[in-house]
Amino acid sequence: MTRCGVVVLAGRPNVGKSTLLNALVGEHLAIVSPKPQSTRLPVVGLLTRGDAQFIFTDSPGLLEPEYQLHEVMRAAAVRAIDDAEVIAYLHPLAEFPAPPLEQVAKLKRPPRAPVVTVYTKADLAPTSTVLHQPPPSSTVFVSALTGAGLDILLETLRVALPESPFHYNPDELATQPMRFFAAEFVREAAFELLHEELPYSVAVEIDEFREEQSPVYIRAVVYVERASQKGIVIGEGGRTIKALGQAARAKIEALLGGRVFLELHAKVLPKWRRQQSSLKRLGYAR
């Protein structure tokens, strides 16, 4: 009998959830940043290996909400934990031991699904972080950067998956539409090119997506919260928005496997992070 199920990657911000999803799937699907709170919506990546199909779900970091966007990010993460068949709870090895997931996720009762504790960024942990007793069987140490521990992680997750027919064709990698990834990659470029707090004020909406033509035509709006931020995003003579467009286009082309024409416009959506109607419109809130 085959095995198949949803494996959520959960944990605090910046522990390496998105990097691990990409390493497991072998494709850059989820955006990654040295800055915390880069993931705002769950991202699904599929891996079919032998008799097992893993439906990996990257989730936003479990944070202390400070404003409305944080609330919906946290709610999405908790929902992903509730809906999972297996929970991979990530925590950096350098900060061993991990606090209980119930505490970090503020769950009212222990999660329904089995939990595998995954210590991440093993390449960064000092060698003195060796454990004095053998870790419990549901604990794995990985480095998404070097690939160390990934096979052991997959085997540990595989035995925890329910017996089930595959839900997806074995060569599929993603379930979300290309326009979702296009918007995310513009945001990833914003995390790379804009300084300090500005990436947190950036949201991206795809206005037009014409996949039937070559190059694929994409028009996107880069929303910020204030007019001064719009000026920075555009930059002197349009320099910054041009660089954003180039960086995002390369990422979209890599995933799409074809040429893309990407047009970006900057607009102000005042205080969108604190307004339910804006969060709904941007796809962050239900």
Map residues 60-89 to x or -, x wherever contact with ligand GTP holds by CB under 6 A. Answer: -x----------------------------
Neighbour tally for 100: CB within 10 Å: 13
3-state secondary structure 75-142: HHHHHHHHHCCEEEEEEEHHHCCCCCHHHHCCCCCCCCCCEEEEEECHHHCCHHHCCCCCCCCCEEEC
The two three-digit tokens of residue 59, written as one number: 């989730």
Binding status of residue 39 toward ligand GTP by CB under 6 A: yes
Map residues 263-282 to x or -, x wherever contact with ligand GTP holds by CB under 6 A. Answer: --------------------
Distance CA 283, CA 41 (A): 9
The two three-digit tokens of residue 216, written as one number: 């694929």
Nearer to Mg ion, 10 or 206 (CB): 10
CB of 176 to ligand GTP, least distance (A): 16
DSSP 174: B
Distance CA 248, CA 78 (A): 29
248, 185 contact by CB (below 8 A):
yes
Considering CB distances under 5 to 8 angstroms, the limit depending on partner class, which of ligand GTP, Mg ion, none binds residue 263?
none
Total residues at interface with ligand GTP (CB under 6 A): 22
Binding status of residue 120 toward Mg ion by CB under 5 A: no
Distance CA 96, CA 99 (A): 9
Binding status of residue 98 toward ligand GTP by CB under 6 A: no
Considering CB distances under 5 to 8 angstroms, the limit depending on partner class, which of ligand GTP, Mg ion, none binds residue 77?
none
The two three-digit tokens of residue 98, written as one number: 């991990």
The tally of CA atoms less than 13 A away on the side-chain side of residue 32 is: 15
Chain CA centroid to CA 91, Å: 15
Identified binder of ligand GTP from the candidate list 51, 66, 102, 123, rule CB under 6 A: 123
Binding status of residue 19 toward Mg ion by CB under 5 A: no
Stretch that binds Mg ion, among 13-21, 222-230, 249-257, 278-286 (CB under 5 A): 13-21
Give the SS3 label for residue 43: strand
According to DSSP, the residues that pair with 140 across neighbouring strands are 118
Identified binder of Mg ion from the candidate list 25, 28, 39, 186, rule CB under 5 A: 39
Considering CB distances under 5 to 8 angstroms, the limit depending on partner class, which of Mg ion, ligand GTP, none binds residue 145?
ligand GTP
Stretch that binds ligand GTP, among 46-54, 118-126, 127-135, 236-244 (CB under 6 A): 118-126
Binding status of residue 129 toward ligand GTP by CB under 6 A: no
Binding status of residue 18 toward Mg ion by CB under 5 A: yes
Binding status of residue 121 toward ligand GTP by CB under 6 A: yes
CB of 38 to Mg ion, least distance (A): 5
Contacts with ligand GTP by CB under 6 A lie at 13-19, 32-34, 36-39, 61, 120-121, 123-124, 143-145
